[in-house]
Every structure is written in structure tokens, then in C-alpha cells.
């Protein structure tokens, strides 16, 4: 190796400085994961070279036996991890080792607090990769060369993990990457052969690329005695070195499945569940899918990185192949290995291949079945729902074919529970329906409290009818694409005519008709007083405690969705609500006896209060306050 040339010192990206500082302190108690991360990166580099060499075999440079080698030097206090994978150019070194080129990085770092236990979990969601080396090393040296480039194109990168790093050009005979960790004083335990071997078996046994460590062997004579001075160093493969997903399920332990998940997902925590499946016939593929226990920090970036690792006949093709799962299952991680695609497939070709659509359909059902099975464990499923429930709610709009399956996986808060926790299934709701009840009732509001205290629920409480309480921003949009479940139609209790079906008897219905007829004059007067502010005024049987409520036409957008759309800059046509009066309430009785200006003021007050109760905004709050003050001082 010649002397380094063209050396320059550069500063880390601000986010890298923050990540390094927090990671080194927060992950101190689990520092052994550095080896897993570096081996995983080396395996990815080997996969990428194997794929690139499909079109250009010369990239192997006569060395097609892909591998990862680990050496240690106890005297020097170093551990070296090297691969003969794709390698990096100078620009790639600066980009990959000096910055974090992932969307949402700044938002992620804002969540870090300096509290070790909490931050360790967050960093686990992010995936520490190369930077994990600084957990055990006070200096890291990287030597690399891009496969197919000349030997003078080698690059050496050095840093002590603080504010800056240096990059220099070197000559390097071998392609691939070598990482030398100069161990900290309290991390010398890792410069031990037994320790390294045990860590490889613990974390990286599933890696398909052979992970090798040197082994010193001494020749023996015919009597079995060692021959002095005959020591020979050979390389011994420590890991299983076979594609885990290609092995029979019965031969794979839970620990191996969990270790493989951590490799493909770059996650610290165990998955909630997984599904390993081999399909033969018209389609031939193997899938290994996981449901994570934690959400990645960029979960809600619909354009973010997502998808499974794609292999064709065990040859790595691409990371994050998003074409094999729908967007609402973007949290699922794993591997798909198929014989039905070309080795030269690209992202563009995947979008046009009918085989991909068939595999996607099958994997979608597999993913939903996996969640259905998980739902049998209420505690584990609640963990899943609290983490990914909002994303799963995107499903009914995106996947008509599986809408009923998705509906069965949804969870809600209801009037039959005191907590805002969304833990009730639609099947639970249906099993508790009142005799004669044919519909599933729900209400949408900005918060659980607002939903639970809505005037629209008064008649339902009186009748003992359960109502779903929806308060997530996505809920109204969800329900616009979810028309029924098990033959029971969904009804928004704040829209259209209220029909409780056979829950109400004929006497009650007749009494309502008689009351409506008796109050026709009052309704007409209120309609004239409010004028264009309302579409219609009528008496209601929805209310037992409140004097009035506003109702929207059945097919109109609700108040919550209107506010979201308007906040996003959408201009929406004006919708006039229907005002419904409770004829049994003292304020309505007082209204009926009022005359002149007092009647108009009280009519407007009742209407404005009904708008406020729905979380709406008044067009003229000052006028409302003035009328209310007049009423209070009368």
C-alpha cells in the first residue's frame, strides 16, 4: 500500500454529531451489537456486488467467493471487519460515512432526549449501522475500493467520532471494505477470539455470506504429537452461512427468526410475530414476513423507504421492494425469494410484471392473516394497534378486495368503555348489539372526550345502544370507505335522519310524530329567525339533556374532515346544518313563550351553542356573547 495522497479533513453533518454523541452513551449497555451491524453491512455489500456482477462478471476481479472476515489483535487492541463486496468510491465514502441521507432525520433527532433507556429504543428504530463502531472504538479506520475500479482508486477514511473525519486516496489491491476498530480501554474484551465467535453465532448465524475467523492449526506427527514451528493459519466459517428463509421451518428456532429480523429491519427489538411460507405451483416463491414491535421514525412518510428485500433464486436484487405489499402494510418487513422473475429485474419492470401482482395479492392476504392470528393474543395485538393502527386504517380505501378482513382487524373506543384506548373490535360490538338493532352506530369528533360528551349520544345512552367513538384524524375518511361489516351498515349518528329501527317501539314512534305536529308553529318561527344560517329546523328525539343539536345531511362531509381539508388550503362549498330542538327542554319551552327580539336572540343562542358542542367555529362570536349577556341580565 502506498502513502496516502489527496488527503482532506471534513466535518460531520450536524445530525451525525448528535447521533454519535447520543448513541455512544445510550447504547453503552448493549455495545456488543456493533459486530452485528458491521457484519450486516458487509453482507449487504456482498449482495450488491453479486447483483451488479450479473451484468458484468469482471467486477469480481477473479475473486467471486464472497465473504466477511474478522480479525483481532489483542496487543494492538484492534478488531478488523472486512468484506470483498461492492466497495465504495471517494464520493460514496464521504456521502455514506459523513452524512445520514435519510428523510426525516432531523425530526427523528428531535425526539432524542438524552435519557438513555428511551433514546436506546429510538436509535433502535433508526438503525445505527456503521456508526455503531464508535460504541466500542475511540478511532475507526475504513479502507475501501469500488469493485471494477483501478487499484489507485482506494480510499482511506479516519475519524475519532467527534467533529470531523479525514479522507485520503490510497492504493488498494482488494475491492470491498475493511473497517479497523481501535478499541477503547474498557472494550478490550472484544479483541478475543472466543468472544467474537460467540457474537457471530449469537447475532449473525443466519447471514448467507460466510463469516470467517482465523484459526491456527499445528501439524502433528504419526504419534499425534504437535510439531513445533508447524503452525498454519486457516480461515474457519463460523456462521451457518445459508439463506435462513430457504431452510425448513422446523429447523429454525425462534431465536434465529428474531436475529434475522434484526438483520433485515436494522432494529434492536424483537418482532411481534412472523410468517414463513413456501409456495409451489403456478407461482414459486418463499416469503418470510415480520410485524415489528416498534414503529420506524418515518412510518407516516408515505413516500419514505419501505418494502421487503427481494431475492431471485437466492440472488439479492434490491432492498425495499415496495411493489410486493400495499402501502397500508408498509410497516411489514422481511424477504421474498422467487423463481418467477428475471435476475435483471428493475423497479420499473416490477411495476409492469403480472407475476408481481399475483405475489403481492398473496402476500397481502398472508400479512392480514398474520395480524388475525396475532389478534388472538389481546396484549400483543394491542401493542401492534397502538403502534400501527392508524396506518392500518388506510386499508379500506386502498384495498377493496380485503376490506372485510381489514375491518375485522380494526379497533375502536366505544361508549361501553371508560378508557380512550382503542381496544374493541367490530366483532365485539356486533356481539353486544341490542335486540332489534340492525346498524353499527359511530360518531366522529376531534377528541375522545368531545366524542363521548356529544349531545348526539343522549338517546343512545338512554336506550343502552353502544356507539363507536372515533377521534383520529383519519377516522372520517376511513368510515367513508367502510360501508358495512358482517351485513350491518355503519351510521354516523350526527348525520341524516335518526332511525333506531326496532329498538324503538310503535308507541314511541307515534309519540314522536305527534310531538313534531304539535311543535310545527315553533319550528316555523325558529326557521324564520335563523333564516339562511340553517337548512332546516325540526324537533328531535335524539336529545334527553341538551336543548338543541346540529345535524349534517347524510352524505355531507363532517365537521372534522372539513376542518382538516380547510387547514390544508382546500376551498369547500358551504354546507348549512339542520337544527334539531329538544321539545322537552326548559330552554325550548322558554323559547316557545318568547316574543320579538328576545325570541330571535334565544333562537340564535341555541343554534350557536349547538355549533360549539360539535367543535365548530362561530361566524360571529361577539354577537353570540352579546346575546348571551342580554339573556343572563334579563
The answer to whether 126 is annotated as binding is yes
Q: How far apart are the C-alpha atoms of 608 and 249, rounded to whole Å?
A: 64
Greater confidence, 219 or 116? 219
Mean pLDDT value across residues 158-164: 86
- 224-248 pLDDT, tens per residue? 777 776 677 899 999 987 889 999 9
The answer to whether 130 is annotated as binding is yes
Order of strands across the sheet with 578-581?
536-539, 578-581, 548-551
The answer to whether 125 is annotated as binding is yes
Q: How far apart are the C-alpha atoms of 362 and 279, rounded to whole Å?
A: 10
User: Is 176 within 8 Å of 87 (Cβ atoms)?
Assistant: yes
Q: How far apart are the C-alpha atoms of 179 and 423, rounded to whole Å?
A: 48
DSSP label of 547? S
Residues 6+ apart with CB under 8 A from 596: none
**Dihedral through CA 93, CA 96, CA 98, CA 103, nearest 10?**
160
- State percent of the chain over pLDDT 70: 91
Residue 350 has pLDDT above 70, yes or no: yes
The answer to whether 253 is annotated as binding is no
Q: How far apart are the C-alpha atoms of 361 and 324, rounded to whole Å?
A: 8
What per-residue confidence (pLDDT) applies to 161?
82
**What is the 3-state composition of the chain as percent helix, strand, coil, each rounded to the nearest 5?**
45, 20, 35
Phi and psi angles of residue 581, each rounded to the nearest 5 degrees, phi first: -105, 140
Burial class (CB in 10 A: 0-12, 13-18, 19+), 432: middle
Res. 282 pLDDT band, cuts 50 70 90: confident
The answer to whether 347 is annotated as binding is yes
Comparing 95-104, 199-208, 315-324, the range with the smallest average pLDDT is 95-104
User: Is 19 within 8 Å of 62 (Cβ atoms)?
Assistant: no
The answer to whether 176 is annotated as binding is no
Residue 614 exposure: Cα atoms within 13 Å on the Cβ side: 28
Phi and psi angles of residue 84, each rounded to the nearest 5 degrees, phi first: -110, 45
Q: Is 108 helix (H, G, I), strand (E, B) or coil?
A: helix
The answer to whether 128 is annotated as binding is yes
- 432-459 pLDDT, tens per residue? 999 889 999 999 998 999 999 999 999 9
The answer to whether 284 is annotated as binding is no
Residue 103 has pLDDT above 70, yes or no: no
The answer to whether 163 is annotated as binding is no
Q: How far apart are the C-alpha atoms of 391 and 409, rounded to whole Å?
A: 12
Res. 126 pLDDT band, cuts 50 70 90: very low
User: Is 330 within 8 Å of 296 (Cβ atoms)?
Assistant: no
What per-residue confidence (pLDDT) applies to 516?
87
What per-residue confidence (pLDDT) applies to 2?
47
Residue 488 has pLDDT above 70, yes or no: yes
Residue 205 has pLDDT above 70, yes or no: yes
Strand partners, 166: 9, 158
User: Is 268 within 8 Å of 128 (Cβ atoms)?
Assistant: no
The answer to whether 37 is annotated as binding is yes
User: Is 271 within 8 Å of 291 (Cβ atoms)?
Assistant: yes
Mean pLDDT value across residues 553-576: 77
The answer to whether 30 is annotated as binding is no
Question: Which residue segments constitute the domains of the chain, with CATH numbers given?
Answer: 5-237 (3.30.565.10), 244-387 (3.30.230.80), 411-501 (3.40.50.11260), 506-633 (1.20.120.790)
Greater confidence, 10 or 129? 10
Res. 344 pLDDT band, cuts 50 70 90: low
Q: Among candidates 322, 280, 324, which has minimal Cα distance to 301?
A: 322
Res. 127 pLDDT band, cuts 50 70 90: very low
User: Is 169 within 8 Å of 90 (Cβ atoms)?
Assistant: yes
Mean pLDDT value across residues 199-220: 86
- As a whole number of angstroms, the longest Cα–Cα distance in the chain is 122
Phi and psi angles of residue 269, each rounded to the nearest 5 degrees, phi first: -90, 165
What per-residue confidence (pLDDT) applies to 112?
52
User: Is 92 within 8 Å of 79 (Cβ atoms)?
Assistant: no
The answer to whether 177 is annotated as binding is yes
Residue 19 has pLDDT above 80, yes or no: no
Phi and psi angles of residue 490, each rounded to the nearest 5 degrees, phi first: -85, 140
Cell (9 digits) for 573: 362549498
Q: Is 168 helix (H, G, I), strand (E, B) or coil?
A: strand
Residue 600 has pLDDT above 70, yes or no: yes
Q: Among candidates 259, 252, 25, 38, which has minimal Cα distance to 130?
A: 38
The answer to whether 103 is annotated as binding is yes
Residue 101 has pLDDT above 50, yes or no: no
The answer to whether 127 is annotated as binding is yes
Q: Among candidates 122, 155, 162, 133, which has minimal Cα distance to 26?
A: 122
Amino acid at each position: 500500500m502506498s502513502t496516502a495522497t489527496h488527503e482532506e479533513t471534513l466535518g460531520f453533518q450536524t445530525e451525525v454529531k448528535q447521533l454519535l454523541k447520543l448513541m455512544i452513551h445510550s447504547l453503552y449497555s448493549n455495545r456488543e451489537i456493533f459486530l452485528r451491524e458491521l457484519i450486516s453491512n458487509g453482507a449487504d455489500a456482498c449482495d450488491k456486488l453479486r447483483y451488479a456482477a450479473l451484468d458484468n462478471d469482471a467486477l469480481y476481479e477473479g475473486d467471486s467467493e464472497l465473504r466477511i472476515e474478522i480479525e483481532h489483535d489483542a496487543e494492538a487492541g484492534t478488531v478488523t471487519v472486512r468484506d470483498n463486496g461492492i466497495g465504495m468510491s471517494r464520493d460514496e465514502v464521504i456521502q455514506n460515512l459523513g452524512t445520514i441521507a435519510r428523510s426525516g432525520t432531523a425530526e427523528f433527532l428531535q425526539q432524542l432526549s438524552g435519557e438513555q433507556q428511551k433514546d436506546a429504543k429510538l436509535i433502535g428504530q433508526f438503525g445505527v449501522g456503521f456508526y455503531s463502531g464508535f460504541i466500542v472504538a475511540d478511532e475507526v479506520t475504513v479502507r475501501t475500493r469500488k469493485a471494477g475500479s483501478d487499484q489507485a482508486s482506494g480510499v482511506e477514511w479516519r475519524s475519532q467520532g467527534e467533529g470531523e473525519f479525514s479522507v485520503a486516496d490510497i492504493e488498494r489491491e482488494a475491492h470491498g471494505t475493511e473497517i479497523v476498530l481501535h478499541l477503547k480501554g474498557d472494550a478490550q474484551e472484544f479483541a478475543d477470539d472466543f468472544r467474537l465467535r460467540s457474537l457471530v453465532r449469537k447475532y449473525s448465524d443466519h447471514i448467507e455470506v460466510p463469516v470467517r475467523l482465523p484459526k491456527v492449526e499445528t501439524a502433528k506427527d504419526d504419534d499425534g504429537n504437535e510439531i513445533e514451528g508447524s503452525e498454519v493459519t486457516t480461515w474457519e466459517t463460523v456462521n451457518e452461512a445459508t439463506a435462513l428463509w430457504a431452510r425448513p421451518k422446523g429447523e429454525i428456532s425462534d431465536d434465529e427468526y428474531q436475529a434475522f429480523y434484526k438483520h433485515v429491519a436494522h432494529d434492536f427489538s424483537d418482532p411481534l410475530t412472523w410468517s414463513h411460507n413456501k409456495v409451489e405451483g403456478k407461482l414459486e416463491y418463499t416469503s418470510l414476513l415480520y410485524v415489528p414491535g416498534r414503529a420506524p421514525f418515518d412510518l407516516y412518510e408515505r413516500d419514505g423507504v419501505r418494502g421487503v428485500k427481494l431475492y431471485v433464486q437466492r440472488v439479492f436484487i434490491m432492498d425495499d421492494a415496495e411493489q410486493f405489499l400495499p402501502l397500508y402494510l408498509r410497516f411489514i418487513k422481511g424477504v421474498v425469494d422467487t423463481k418467477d422473475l428475471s435476475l435483471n429485474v428493475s423497479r420499473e419492470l416490477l411495476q409492469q410484471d403480472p407475476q408481481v401482482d399475483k405475489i403481492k395479492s398473496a402476500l397481502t392476504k398472508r400479512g392480514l392473516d398474520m395480524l388475525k392470528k396475532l389478534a388472538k393474543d389481546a396484549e400483543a395485538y394491542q401493542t401492534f394497534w397502538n403502534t400501527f393502527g392508524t396506518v392500518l386504517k388506510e386499508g379500506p380505501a386502498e384495498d377493496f378486495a380485503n376490506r372485510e378482513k381489514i375491518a375485522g382487524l380494526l379497533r375502536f373506543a366505544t361508549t361501553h368503555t371508560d378508557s380512550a384506548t382503542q381496544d374493541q373490535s367490530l366483532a365485539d360490538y356486533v356481539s353486544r348489539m341490542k335486540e332489534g338493532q340492525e346498524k353499527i352506530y359511530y360518531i366522529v369528533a376531534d377528541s375522545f372526550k368531545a366524542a363521548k360528551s356529544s349531545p348526539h349520544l343522549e338517546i343512545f345512552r338512554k336506550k343502552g345502544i353502544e356507539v363507536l367513538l372515533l377521534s383520529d384524524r383519519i377516522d372520517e375518511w376511513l368510515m367513508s370507505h367502510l360501508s358495512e361489516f358482517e351485513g350491518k351498515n355503519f351510521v354516523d349518528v350526527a348525520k341524516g335522519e335518526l332511525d333506531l329501527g326496532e329498538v324503538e317501539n310503535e308507541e314511541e314512534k307515534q309519540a314522536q310524530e305527534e310531538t313534531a305536529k304539535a311543535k310545527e308553529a315553533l319550528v316555523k318561527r325558529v326557521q324564520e329567525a335563523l333564516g339562511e344560517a340553517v337548512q332546516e329546523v325540526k324537533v328531535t328525539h335524539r336529545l334527553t339533556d341538551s336543548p338543541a343539536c346540529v345535524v349534517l345531511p347524510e352524505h355531507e362531509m363532517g365537521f372534522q374532515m372539513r376542518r382538516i381539508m380547510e387547514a390544508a388550503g382546500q376551498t369547500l362549498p358551504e354546507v348549512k346544518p339542520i337544527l334539531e330542538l329538544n321539545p322537552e327542554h326548559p330552554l325550548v319551552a322558554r323559547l316557545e313563550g318568547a316574543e320579538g327580539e328576545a325570541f330571535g336572540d334565544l333562537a340564535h343562542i341555541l343554534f350557536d351553542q349547538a355549533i360549539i358542542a360539535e367543535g365548530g367555529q362561530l361566524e360571529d362570536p361577539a354577537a353570540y356573547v352579546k346575546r348571551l349577556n342580554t339573556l343572563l341580565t334579563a
